[in-house]
Amino acid sequence: MANEWATFGADLHLELRGPRLRAGLMDALREAVRSGRLEAGTRLPSSRSLAADLGMARNTVADAYAELVAEGWLTARQGSGTRVARRAEPRRAGPVRAEPRRAGPGSAGSRTTSAPPTLSLPRTSAPAHNLKAGTPDLASFPRAEWLKAYRRALTAAPNEAFGYGDPRGRIELRTVLAEYLARARGVYARPERIVICAGFVHGLMLMGQVLRARGVRDVAVESYGLGLHAGLLTGAGLGTPALPFDGRGTRVEELADGDAGAVLMTAAHQFPLGGALPPDRRAAVVDWARASGGYVLEDDYDGEFRYDRQPVGALQGLDPDRVVYFGTASKSLAPGLRLAWMVLPEGLAGEVVAAKGAVDWACGAPDQLAFAEFLASGAYDRHVRAMRLRYRRRRDQLVAAVAAHSPETRVSGIAAGLHAVLALPPGTEQEVLRAAAWHGLAVQGVNQFRRPGVPATLDGLVVGYATPTDSAWQGALRSLCRVLPQEGPGDHGRDAP
Amino acid sequence: MANEWATFGADLHLELRGPRLRAGLMDALREAVRSGRLEAGTRLPSSRSLAADLGMARNTVADAYAELVAEGWLTARQGSGTRVARRAEPRRAGPVRAEPRRAGPGSAGSRTTSAPPTLSLPRTSAPAHNLKAGTPDLASFPRAEWLKAYRRALTAAPNEAFGYGDPRGRIELRTVLAEYLARARGVYARPERIVICAGFVHGLMLMGQVLRARGVRDVAVESYGLGLHAGLLTGAGLGTPALPFDGRGTRVEELADGDAGAVLMTAAHQFPLGGALPPDRRAAVVDWARASGGYVLEDDYDGEFRYDRQPVGALQGLDPDRVVYFGTASKSLAPGLRLAWMVLPEGLAGEVVAAKGAVDWACGAPDQLAFAEFLASGAYDRHVRAMRLRYRRRRDQLVAAVAAHSPETRVSGIAAGLHAVLALPPGTEQEVLRAAAWHGLAVQGVNQFRRPGVPATLDGLVVGYATPTDSAWQGALRSLCRVLPQEGPGDHGRDAP
């Protein structure tokens, strides 16, 4: 999820343009205070950083802050920054709160977040920092380059591109993708076997329907992963038994003992634990699929981002007839484009296309054509290269900061991707997450990704270092260091809460 | 569907740009001949009209034709146009044809379509003319205006627009749509009750799931409609009983005798028969919904296009709590954008959003923002006004041409929309459709839209006069007139085949 600050801009986008820019921002802030979304005492981001996040001029934000201070909504005090004034109780339905302190503008400036409370309950207001994994740095979306590709694509598009389309997606995009995937990910792809879909979730939903219709009952999953994905499979009527996990990754050899018809894997970069499936297990899972007639569903969500050596190629190259490859632009470019792709074994392509429907209702043709142009022009490669350098720098800063502030904390899963795992002393994950919530840091623990039934043997934080904007990154990192266990005997071996 | 000629451009889009433009077109034409898609003797469109359809310079097409004539693939003869040469049998699997005449380039120029065959079988090659209903004139997509809106929207978008979105769709678009729908269609819409979806089919699929999960067993449909739509409902596990039909439209009073939980209607402009539901029946269907707790699913697919007086307002305005409104940009702008919207009763909104999923996987945010900008800037209104004039002119030309060539043929359903119905003498629809196929005219009969179980009482053609490009329109119209019954006693009262 994007950080909450940016959401203000979104909610009032139409007012946030042209002469009404400042007024729109002021309305958004007033409404946020009025509704209780911004609690009294909450410190606002600096005008510089909010301006950067919203793509506005800094003066516009500074002026809006100044006017809201004058109106009594906000307070500004040297050294304390701009905060929400104690002004009026939120207009909420439900029982009246005890002692709603309706204070006038004059009483503003009190600081409610300066001292920790005795009960360490998570704060309900929007987090100030976001290190949840799964989203790239949205401020880095290459607007100008994308626009250029869109303009070229729209100008060159044949008229029929504006009509009802092939359910597989535009042939132009599938043609360029086939070439790109072969080159960059070692995928064996022919355009007619590629199906464009609106994000990985759309593809997985279709695949779940097809497998279920074929009589498959179970799709095995990894011990740790996104509940949303397993939920799409169970929603299609499939069971999702979790494969066990050891220090070398997912124990795919256990597939032989079950009767799963397919297995969903993040083979190149396990999500969220971060490792690559070792070569013998890559071979083993493909052998299983061949021997059993099963399928490997390869979720190659961030295959482009590997920092210390060449990317691990896709599993799909080992057996294009038994591996369904899923790729996406959500991590490399932006989730908001809703662009992803499947490369299907010949035996499945027809059924998936039929499940998608007679009409391609997934992605608008102009965006598909723009993406084709973006890929073909080399802009995609350039963007990925630039982001790889940027994320690598953040990763190095994360490793260095953790080493300095919490030397006992091991950082793993750092060879690739947009997130790392910080191992915590046994039983401390919940405690650290509560501290993070108190400090306004949105971050998740590894156990939030643990599949039901998998024993809890790991404690750790999943840190999405790509998520913040550049202006928010250093603050988020400092906030993270604050909640990590500090060196000292008292911090080790604490009981789980 | 777009006309087949334009598809050539699509299949080879990447080759059809820059210096490889002509070569790409030549490859596409060679491949079409080689594969049998273009049969020997088929007349190609003029270089001017193909160039217009593909968005190319006329010279590029003319040069490609000339080279292919030189290579022996095509022939050009004064008065006969450019045709596919008798050159080589198609590379087809299957039994060898009797006497494949493998003639060299020298034998080119023979005309195989000049005389009708004794058996009137439909031709298998691509139709030369397309009057199938359901697609607007794709050549009229306002590329420059859309691009302008896209550029503005992308520049002004907050960063979070590129992230995972609200499953309802972008708030900017929902806000502008609420205003537009109230103004243009009399829809009572608040942004929080609007859900953006990827085409009407996506919305109907979601609604089918929600109704089924609520325990609804049947959704009533009109006697005539798209099988695709009924199929989406049956795919969700719902029955689709058809309501009877009389000279005043759908007999909604019959709903009281059934136990349908909802009814799918094209109240403003019945598809395909073309009438508007009369006021007393509009009231009756809403009364039924109120009394029974059912829902009216209003498919307002072309509500913007009404020619002779003010548009008929949406049914939804009569009771926003019992009518689900579905609108789309597919007819007013382009199906390729995959942009549609639902306006939901409060009681249904949560369930539909849940069915859509935690992540909005339907439409890319940039296109949603561009459409919001397109609406807000007035470009949408201007486009709809311009297209209304254009389609109205075509409609008038259709009426005039039919009156001149087939004075007995009644044209109905002409007050609105992008299609008309041409009533045929009883029992002649199949015959006329076969003649149309023989003449290379793609057009559908009303009985292709008749729901299973509905008695066949009408014979007619459904003519989508918006479908051709401007350059193809007159040819399509002439082709239509050729297949209509000519005046004379022998043409009346023929038996059904």
Q: At what angle do helices A365-376 and A143-156 cross, to 10 degrees?
A: 110
Could you give the ipTM of this predicted complex? Answer: 0.74
- Looking up tokens 């603050």 gives A475
Name the residue facing B155 among A143, A176, A369 (closest C-beta). A143
Name the residue facing A336 among B10, B55, B364 (closest C-beta). B364
If 0-12 CB within 10 Å is exposed, 13-18 middle and 19+ buried, where does residue B124 land? exposed
Q: Which residues of B touch A55 (CB under 8 A)?
A: 156-159
With a cut of 70, list the residues of chain A below it in pLDDT.
1-20, 34-37, 53, 55, 70-72, 78, 86-126, 310-311, 358-361, 487-497
- Closest Cα in chain A to B13: A172
- What DSSP string describes A237-262? T-B-PBPPEETTEE-GGGGGGS--SE
Chain A interface mutation, best of B49, B143, B160, highest count of A Cβ atoms under 10 Å: B160
Rounded Cα distance between A86 and A105, Å, is 7
Nearest to A11 by CA among A33, A29, A28: A28
Rounded Cα distance between B295 and A310, Å, is 57
- Closest Cα in chain A to B174: A11
CA distance A236 to chain B (A): 13
Element housing A284 (H / E): helix A279-292
Rounded Cα distance between B40 and B50, Å, is 19
Chain A interface mutation, best of B175, B301, B337, B338, highest count of A Cβ atoms under 10 Å: B338
- Closest Cα in chain B to A5: B160
- What DSSP string describes B109-172? T--SSSS--SS-PPP-SPPSEE--TT---GGG--HHHHHHHHHHHHHH--GGGGSS--TT--HH
What is the per-residue pLDDT for A110? 35
Q: At what angle do helices B365-376 and B171-185 cross, to 10 degrees?
A: 40
Name the residue facing A201 among B10, B170, B359 (closest C-beta). B359
Is residue A150 less than 8 Å (CB to CB) from chain B? yes
Interface of B with A in 452-471 (CB under 8 A): 469
Q: Which residues of B touch A158 (CB under 8 A)?
A: 6, 9-10, 13, 16, 54-55
What are the structure tokens assigned to B414, written together?
């002409």
CA distance B153 to chain A (A): 10
Residues A6, B160: C-beta atoms closer than 8 Å: yes
Beta bridge partners of A460: A423
Name the residue facing A135 among B143, B164, B361 (closest C-beta). B164
Name the residue facing B202 among A1, A17, A361 (closest C-beta). A361
- Strands of the sheet containing A295-299, edge to edge, are A194-197, A340-343, A323-328, A295-299, A262-265, A219-220
Q: Which residues of B touch A146 (CB under 8 A)?
A: 154, 366
What is the per-residue pLDDT for A376? 96
Residues B361, A13: C-beta atoms closer than 8 Å: no
Rounded Cα distance between B96 and B83, Å, is 24
Residues B147, A143: C-beta atoms closer than 8 Å: no
What does DSSP say about strands B340-343 and B194-197: parallel, antiparallel, or unpaired?
antiparallel
- Closest Cα in chain A to B54: A158
Chain A interface mutation, best of B159, B200, B206, highest count of A Cβ atoms under 10 Å: B159
Name the residue facing A147 among B151, B164, B337 (closest C-beta). B151
- The C-alpha torsion from B335 through B336 and B338 to B340, rounded to 10°, is -30
What does DSSP say about strands B262-265 and B295-299: parallel, antiparallel, or unpaired?
parallel
Residues B55, A16: C-beta atoms closer than 8 Å: no
Nearest to A213 by CA among A403, A348, A63: A348
Which pairs with CB-CB distance under 8 Å and at least 24 residues apart come from A430-437?
A430/A496, A430/A497, A431/A494, A431/A497, A432/A461, A432/A483, A432/A484, A432/A485, A433/A461, A434/A120, A434/A121, A434/A122, A435/A120, A435/A482, A435/A483, A436/A461, A436/A479, A436/A480, A436/A483, A437/A122, A437/A123, A437/A127
Rounded Cα distance between A178 and A52, Å, is 37
Kindly give, in sequence order, each residue whose CB lies less than 8 Å from that of residue A50, ignoring residues fewer than 6 positions away: A5, A44, A56, A61
- Closest Cα in chain A to B366: A337
With a cut of 50, list the residues of chain B below it in pLDDT.
1-19, 87-124, 489-497
Interface of B with A in 353-382 (CB under 8 A): 357-367, 369, 372, 376
Is residue B54 less than 8 Å (CB to CB) from chain A? yes
3-state secondary structure of B36: coil
Residues A336, B367: C-beta atoms closer than 8 Å: no
Radius of gyration of chain B (CA): 25
Q: Which residues of A touch B53 (CB under 8 A)?
A: 159
Name the residue facing B159 among A2, A165, A172 (closest C-beta). A2
Kindly give, in sequence order, each residue whose CB lies less than 8 Å from that of residue B275, ignoring residues fewer than 6 positions away: B248, B249, B269, B412, B413
CB atoms within 10 A of CB B43: 15
Residues A198, B362: C-beta atoms closer than 8 Å: yes
- The C-alpha torsion from B404 through B406 and B408 to B410, rounded to 10°, is -90
Residues A160, B138: C-beta atoms closer than 8 Å: yes
Residues A164, B135: C-beta atoms closer than 8 Å: yes
Nearest to B215 by CA among B241, B240, B237: B237
- Closest Cα in chain A to B148: A151
Interface of A with B in 262-321 (CB under 8 A): none
DSSP 8-class letter at B221: B
CA distance B483 to chain A (A): 26
Give pLDDT tens digits for B51-86.
Answer: 776 767 778 888 788 777 766 677 777 667 888 876
Q: How many CB pairs under 8 A join A and B?
A: 229
Nearest to B129 by CA among B52, B12, B43, B54: B43
Name the residue facing B164 among A1, A11, A164 (closest C-beta). A1
Nearest to B262 by CA among B303, B314, B323: B323
Query: Peptide bond before B241: cis, by omega within 30 degrees of 0?
Result: no
Q: Which residues of A touch B364 (CB under 8 A)?
A: 198, 336-339, 363-364, 367
Chain B interface mutation, best of A61, A159, A206, A229, highest count of B Cβ atoms under 10 Å: A159
CA distance B138 to chain A (A): 5
Q: Which residues of A touch B130 (CB under 8 A)?
A: none
Q: Which residues of B touch A161 (CB under 8 A)?
A: 10, 13, 138, 336
- Closest Cα in chain B to A176: B14
Give pLDDT tens digits for A369-405.
Answer: 999 999 999 999 999 999 999 999 999 999 999 999 9
Residues B364, A337: C-beta atoms closer than 8 Å: yes
What are the structure tokens assigned to B452, written together?
């299973």
Give pLDDT tens digits for B147-184.
Answer: 999 999 999 999 999 998 888 999 999 999 999 999 88
Residues A361, B198: C-beta atoms closer than 8 Å: yes
Rounded Cα distance between A299 and A306, Å, is 16
Nearest to A273 by CA among A164, A411, A158: A411
Is residue A175 less than 8 Å (CB to CB) from chain B? yes
